[in-house]
Structure 1
Amino acid sequence: MDRYRGSMGGLRMKVRSSKHAKLILPQQPSAPWTPRTFAIVGHRSSGKTSLAELLLQAARVTRAVGSVEDGSALLDWSEEARRHRQTLALSVAWLDHQGQPIQLIDTPGAAFLSHERDRALNASDAALVVIDAAEGVRVGTEEALRRARCPQTGQRLPLIAVVSKLERLTPGGEGRAMGLPSSGASIGVEGIEAIRAHLEAELREGPGPGPRVVPVQLPLYDEDGALQGLVDVLGGRVLRYATDGTGALSPEPIPGPLRAVVAVAAERVAEAVAMTDDALLEHYLEELELPEEVLQRGLVAAVASGAVVPLLLSSAEARIGAMPLLDALAQWLPGPRGVWIQDPDGARSLLQPGPRFVAQVVACQWDRSGQPFTLLRVWSGAPPRGPWHEGCSGRELRVHKLYRLRGPRRATAPRVGPGALVATWEPLGLRPGDTVTDGSRIWAVVPREEQTRMVWRLTLPDAAALESIEAVVAADGELSLRPEGRPDEWLLTGRSEAHLRLAVERIEALCGGRVDTGLPRVAYREIPTSWVSGIEGVHLLKGEHGLVSEYGRCEVSLGPTGPDEDALRFVDGFEDTEALPLRFRPAIAEGVAAALGRGPTAGYPVTGVEALLTGGDYDILQSTEEHLRIAGERAARAALESAGTDLLEPWSEVVVRVPQAALGELISDIASNRGRIVGMEVEGDEAQVVASCPHRELRTFAPRLEGITGGRGRFSLRELHYERVPPQLIDEITGARASSG
């Protein structure tokens, strides 16, 4: 068996004479201990963690390939990840291949945790996009590709695509889908071509050509359709893997019937690379080929610029593809990139790695013992021996030890420089996205995009649980917390129902108690139905001998203004200042306002009220402002009972962006939930709908939209006004109010 020496090096192509030496770029070896950092992204359950575990085993970081299903994965190390059998937070590891340090960030694929993916991309120099061979490009893949191209900063991460779970791909086609000549051999091409075409379409922006996705490997099957290995397009050889699951492989020459297929695939790679550089293109058009060294270096430059996306293959189950992928990562990925920073004056600039220390918080998590730690990406410089500073506020921080991580394992980080991912267990009081420096008042620009929101009402078991909630909110970075009104109730806002469910699970794990959840209460209001006049309010208290000890009386007329007017417009219409001196009248207004706190229909606050003071009197010896305040409150309560009140509910404007195919179902959902379509616009494959909807139904709009669009929908809200509640809902609302107290 021949020893495998790397599949990305030995191109079996004719190297031209020295007249083409001008095309060979000068060698630029990697600086020592300069890591290549990439994020592994893709749709949920596409095999991201399994691929990462395969790479770690091939690099001899682990003895065996960890499994998500049985809980043995090094990267899915938390109890919650093992319980759910799903990646629920980003996890990092480092390895060494061909003398090149490589750092990987494994990310969740679930849509409700896409902010974890985005932070990993923001902390990376490149992205490894994983596509399930059987499922193809799905919404999570599309979102990952979109987020790798940041519109706020203009930065585009280099991409490498990997088709995972290759054993699930059905062989067939032998090149017909790629326009290749039929060889009669068992090379699976059609499935790979479909994925390639979909990826290329997703990467295209505007009418012009976008990045070229080029397969540099093809799957090899035996006569029975069983996966045998890979065809190395660049190396011009077959990589046949052992069938015992050890991952051992032996390079073999390409059989004669397959050479035409591989040659055409290799030409596609050379053509894609040549199109990225004028000198390369000129040579390619003249000679119809590129020298080996020129092609390799041109490919590195094309990947770094984002013009070419290599497509590789793997199977964690069959232990196929790890070493060639490690070769590609070590040779093709760029070194540490720059980051956009902003100063207090709002000026932005691109900070390249240099002597000035700048790092950014990637994640805040808890280790297995429940101790919090902070993961940082170093953008520039080395950590100072003295104090650090929070870039935005200038607050001084103390950090004594830094560690490199491999899942839950940590080791002291002796040399930290640009590109390093390091963790500290020092209490810093930072959140994801925060910047630390050696004293400079700058901070890294954090890309953000509009997200859907979901709100839950939390009922806490005790006061100590609030600390756990605040800790989870700070660590997550996408959660927000505000009081609901009662001391034990808080409103927790997240990206989706699943996001909130996970947050509550984490809160309960920290506080050790149960946190009850529910939808937020609707801010109903009441408004007088009609005008009533001359309603009297009296406060009279007699002493033990029947003598008056407290007295105040007033008369008010009361009626509605409008649902969106001020809660109370108090008008003093009583001209007799001797019967009721002016000093008592503000107290009456205060009493009327107090009466509006609880309406007669359902106990909700009353709004849109005009109250007119029409009469009143006092006792010169026994009356005080407090007595007239009580009289005013009683008059207003009696007036509201007499006038009756209508129930009001808040309405909001919702702007929804969905794929055009989901437009009909979205409109139906809005209409069936009492919403009104205000405007609609279709542009390409995306549609935007503007609607006016009652807040009562919008509380569950986020999960409904996710179901309609498969996670592709986005919406934003803006409070509009109040409208009267339909009669058929009043009994339900008043009954719920009565039962809740």
Structure 2
Amino acid sequence: MRTTLQRQAGNPPTAVRNLGILAHVDAGKTTVTERILYLTGATHKRGEVHDGTTVTDFDPQERDRGITIFAAAVSCVWDGHRINLIDTPGHVDFSDEVERSLRVLDGAIAVFDAVAGVEPQSESVWRQADRHAVPRIAFVNKLDRAGADLDTAVESIRERLHIVPLVVQLPIGQEDGFSGVVDLLRMRSLVWGTGSDTYEEGPVPDDLREEALRRRGLLEEAVAELHPVALEEFCGEGTLSAATLMAALRDLTLGGEAVVVLCGSAYRNCGIEPLLEAAVAYLPSPQDVPAVRGTHDGTVQQRAADPDEPFAALVFKVTSTATGRLTYLRVYAGTLRKGDIVLDPGARRSERIGRILRVQADRHAEVDHAVAGDIVAVIGMKTARAGATLCAPGAPLVLEPPTVADPVVSVAVEARSSLDTDRLAAALARLAEEDPSLVVRTDPETGQTLLSGMGELHLEVAVEKVRRAYGLAVGVGRPQVAYRETVARGVSGLVHRHVKQDGGAGQFAHVVLDVAALDPSAEPAGGNAAGAGDFVFRSTVTGGRVPQEYIRAVEAGCRDALAEGPLGGHPVTGLRVTLTDGATHPKDSSEMAFRTAGRFALREALRASEMALLEPVVEVTATVPDDAVGGVLGDLAARRGRVSGQVARAGTAVLTATVPLAELFGYASRLRSRTQGRGTFTTRATGYAAVPTAVSEQVSAG
């Protein structure tokens, strides 16, 4: 028998793992994190989500709602390795928290429900990790639940995530009888007693030996197909040694060619030690990932994860606490010490580091320094925001910041008392500083303050935080979605002359534009093209009739005009603009004149075009009792939903539909009433779709 205390024995850490816990809401991420902290000795009591006693879900709203809202960083030591863990939210409304976390992580543990398998948000966060090339291992959780099935969950990983799953464990017992696993690498059993913090190691049970040997053979064959060294040994020996198998699994994990799959029940404390061992064995350290790349004066530079390199770090989170402003950093290169002066090249200012903290969710331990590979929080930074680069003043570098998604829902907020207006403005500004996916603006027509975010729950949490943290009474208007406008049928040869003479040098610019809907699959043919995904600008002007610097000014003016479309002042997207002709004046033409001409010309062209309104749509996955399916389907149809799938599962049905986001406000209470409180649903953003004519007219009139 081996205890966790022996495994964690207090040697200083010799290596670092920066890992995230990723999953769909309610798959067990936070419980997995709590068990890791307990088993490594970082905490002395098991926290439970349902009791509101977890370390990482420390915010009052998280405990009230029973979900993770804010990414929380914790740190522990296992087998001589420092493990920095970030427990990320699982709800789609907080996907921006996941995005910022993935930007600074080296590896991740993806947690899946053994009953539900890969769920919609599991798939979304997996794709986010793909974009950042973050290696992952998988943990199939909740094997003690009724209906749990490892093979079904693994097959959903293969089918929905398009990755080869390499299962290295076999469950011992099913559902409530689940008690341990067979380790297929070392061909041994690991059994946890009820409520025990340790596992008992033994031989493979006789009734599982044949199945374990079969699965070990399948694992060896799958690895040999993907790894050339393993293939050579497999062909020569007919089998693979445990050492070769583990080395191949690490290579395949780091290369993203396959995912190692483990299983267990975090709530029962089963399977956490092997999960930690797999994280250390297969996931990369900061030294295993490529050197971070940044830019300075237009040139690309690299910084290795070396304490002796010039300092470089990325800010990925900012929070305000009673003790001051906490700025969370991932140190990519160099060493940071208390009292150091660091440069924020984006803001072009230097700041002094007051204190450096090792973070344990809402608790902190002060340290003297941080080195390459560390994730820490610092006190003393006054202006650095999420996405900012901090570097040594003598070696400037700008790292690529995390991407921030455009908000899709807005509400009007106002203070109940006019005396609190200034306090509300300050509170909202601080919220937007902490969460870049929240946008605060003033409606130019009504003068109302609008708070925009990623979903209804996202805005509910933000407003409730203003009420609780700042003690403000706040009124909230009805949510509104972020519509877009696009061109259904464009115009050609639109001529605009900008002539202005008011004494002194005048302004003259003459442009001719073609405007059309953008076909993303079509490559620009000829001319000079520039685009950013949903807008492409190109010039076919010949003979130098419009100089290149003026062409760039016309493009800038067109981009200015995209902010407000003619239907209702919504941003314009999906547009191709071609500058076909123009003229200049030897004295009065300037970049400013052509930028102004480009802006007014595109506005005229959009008013002359046939425009279409676009609305955000989401994929809704609802799990409902069999006897409520008809009512739920009817309700989705009434909300302009298009049902795309229906799967029966143990007395329930899983319905999948695409629904306009504007039609989902209040859906949670409606679903509960139609299913007598037994129905649940999740959403996943899928983009924008055209609005029906009748709805478009209502939106434009409103």
Task: Give the alignment's TM-score, normalised by structure 1.
Answer: 0.64
Residue 49 of structure 1 corresponds to which residue in structure 2? 30
Partner amino acid for 2:284? P
- 1:303-338 deviation per Cα after TM superposition (whole angstroms, max 9, x unaligned): 222222111122233221121112112222211134
**Greater shift after overlay, 303-312 or 330-339?**
330-339
Q: Alpha-carbon deviation of 1:711?
A: 1.8
The structure-2 alpha-carbon separation of the partners of 1:89 and 1:660, relative to structure 1 and needing over 3 Å to count, comes to: closer
Aligned letter for 1:42? A
Q: Deviations over 1:667-707 (max 9, x none)?
A: 967879xxxxxxxxxxxxx9999xxxxxxxx9935759999
Matched, 1:465 2:418: no
The residue that corresponds to 1:373 in the other structure is 326
Give the whole-Å Cα distance in 2 for the aligned partners of 1:333 and 1:236. Answer: 22
- Once residues 409 and 295 of structure 2 are traced to their aligned partners in structure 1, the CA distance between those partners, rounded to angstroms, is 33
How far does the alpha carbon of each residue in 1:252-289 deviate from its partner, in whole angstroms, 9 at most, with x for none? 11133322211122223323333333232122123221
Q: Out of 132, 135, 138, which is 1:161 matched to?
A: 138
User: What's the secondary structure of 1:156's corresponding residue?
Assistant: coil
Deviations along 1:118-177, one digit per CA (max 9) or x if unpaired, are 222212111100111222210111111111111xxxx41111111112211547xxxxxx
Post-superposition shift, 1:477?
0.9
* Correspondence list, 1:483-632, <5 A: 483-485=442-444, 489-519=448-478
Other-structure match for 1:256: 206
Find the counterpart in structure 1 of residue 178 from structure 2. Answer: 227
Cα offsets for 1:521-552 (capped at 9, x unmatched): 999xxxxxxxxxxxxxxxxxxxxxxxxxxxxx
Aligned to 1:50, the other structure's residue is in SS state helix
Corresponding residue to 2:238 among 288, 294, 299: 288
Conserved in 2, the CA contact under 8 Å of 1:655 and 1:717? yes
Where do 1:643-722 residues align within 5 Å? 653-654=613-614, 700=662, 703=665, 710-716=682-688
- Which residue is 2:282 aligned to? 332
CA change 1:234–1:291 in 2 (3 A) is closer
Q: Give 1:383's aligned amino acid.
A: L
Pairs within 5 Å for 1:162-311:
162-170=139-147, 191-204=149-162, 211-221=163-173, 226-243=177-194, 245-311=195-261
Match of 2:336 among 373, 379, 383: 383
Q: 2:349 aligns with which of 391, 395, 401?
A: 395
Q: Which amino acid aligns with 2:155?
A: A
Unaligned runs of 5+ in 2: 483-495, 497-567, 570-609, 623-632, 642-655, 672-679
Q: Is the 8 A contact 2:359 2:377 kept in 1?
A: yes
Q: CA deviation at 1:464?
A: 1.8
Q: Equivalents in 2 of 1:504, 1:5: separation in Å?
A: 43
**In the TM superposition, what whole-angstrom CA distance separates every residue of 1:426-452 from its partner, at most 9, and x where no partner exists?**
243222222111134432223437555
- Alpha-carbon separation, structure 1, partners of 2:134 and 2:12: 20
Structure 1 runs not aligned, ≥5 long: 9-29, 172-190, 205-210, 524-565, 567-603, 606-649, 673-685, 690-697, 734-741
CA contact (8 A) 2:4 2:198 kept: no
| Number of positions where the alignment pairs a residue of Structure 1 with one of Structure 2 | 532
User: CA 1:339–1:83 in 2, change beyond 3 Å: closer, same or farther?
Assistant: farther
Quickly say closer, same or farther: Cα 1:105–1:522, change in 2 above 3 A.
closer
Cα offset for 1:86? 2.0
AA aligned to 1:40 is I
Distance 1:265 1:169, change over 3 A: farther
Classify 1:671/1:52 alpha carbon distance in 2 versus 1 (closer, same or farther; 3 Å): closer
1:358 aligns to 2:312 (yes or no): yes
Distance 1:486 1:517, change over 3 A: farther
Residues 418/522 of structure 1: CA separation in 2 closer, same or farther (3 Å cut): closer
**Cα offset, 1:410, TM superposition:** 1.0
Q: Aligned partners of 1:365 and 1:334: how far apart in 2?
A: 28
Task: After superposition, give the CA deviation of every residue in 1:391-424 in whole Å (9 maximum; x if it has no partner).
Answer: 3233111112111011222112234112211012
1:46 CA displacement: 0.8
Summarize the Cα distance change of 1:6–1:522 in structure 2 as closer, same or farther, 3 Å threshold.
closer
Bigger drift between 278-287 and 40-49 goes to: 278-287
* One-letter amino acid of the counterpart of residue 218, structure 1: L
Corresponding residue number in structure 2 for 1:133: 114
Q: Are 1:3 and 2:2 matched, yes or no?
A: yes
2:630 alignment counterpart: none
2:675 is matched with none
Q: Secondary structure at the match of 1:88?
A: coil
Residue type of the partner of 1:162? F
The amino acid across from 1:113 in the alignment is: F
Q: Is the 8 A contact 2:37 2:43 kept in 1?
A: yes
Amino acid at match of 1:258: L
SS of equivalent to 2:355: coil
- CA offset digits 1:436-483 (Å, max 9, x no partner): 111344322234375551011111242222111100111011011111
Tell me the secondary structure at the aligned position of residue 180 of structure 2: strand
Aligned-residue Cα RMSD (Å) equals: 4.1
1:145 and 1:202 in contact (8 A); partners too: no
Residue 569 of structure 1 is matched in structure 2 by: none
CA 1:403/1:149 → structure 2, altered by over 3 Å: closer, same or farther? same
User: 2:33, 2:430 → 1: CA distance?
Assistant: 30
Contact residue 452 and residue 715 of structure 1 kept, 8 A? no
Name the amino acid aligned to 1:517: V
- d(CA) in 2 for partners of 1:522 and 1:330? 44
State the partner residue of 1:109. Answer: 90
1: CA distance between counterparts of 2:13 and 2:3? 25
Distance 2:118 2:276 in 1: 23
Deviations 1:97-136 (A, max 9, x none): 1111111111111111111112222121111001112222
Amino acid of the structure 1 residue aligned with 2:662: T
Q: Distance in 1 between matches of 2:247 and 2:36?
A: 24
Aligned position for 1:66? 47
CA distance in 2, matches of 1:105, 1:661: 27
| Contact 1:508–1:514, Cα closer than 8 Å, also in 2 | yes
Cα contact 1:508–1:515 (8 A) shared by 2:
yes
Q: Which residue of 1 aligns with 2:627?
A: none
Normalised by the size of structure 2, how large is the TM-score?
0.68
Q: Give the SS at the match of 1:168.
A: coil
> Which moved further from structure 2: 121-130 or 296-305?
296-305
Inter-partner Cα distance in structure 1 for 2:637 and 2:133? 38
Q: Please tell me the residue identity of whatever aligns with 2:686.
A: R
Checking the alignment, whether the CA contact within 8 Å between 2:407 and 2:439 is kept in structure 1 is no
> Residues of 2 paired with 1:718 and 1:479: CA distance?
25
The match for 1:443 is: 398
SS in structure 1 at match of 2:226: coil
Where 2:110 maps in the other structure, the secondary structure is strand
- Counterpart of 2:126 (choices 117, 121, 145) is 145
Picking from 423, 437, 446, the partner of 2:377 is 423
Confirm or deny: 8 A CA contact 1:216 1:312 kept in the other structure.
Answer: yes
Aligned equivalents of 2:16 and 2:694: distance in 1?
A: 57
Distance 1:159 1:263, change over 3 A: same
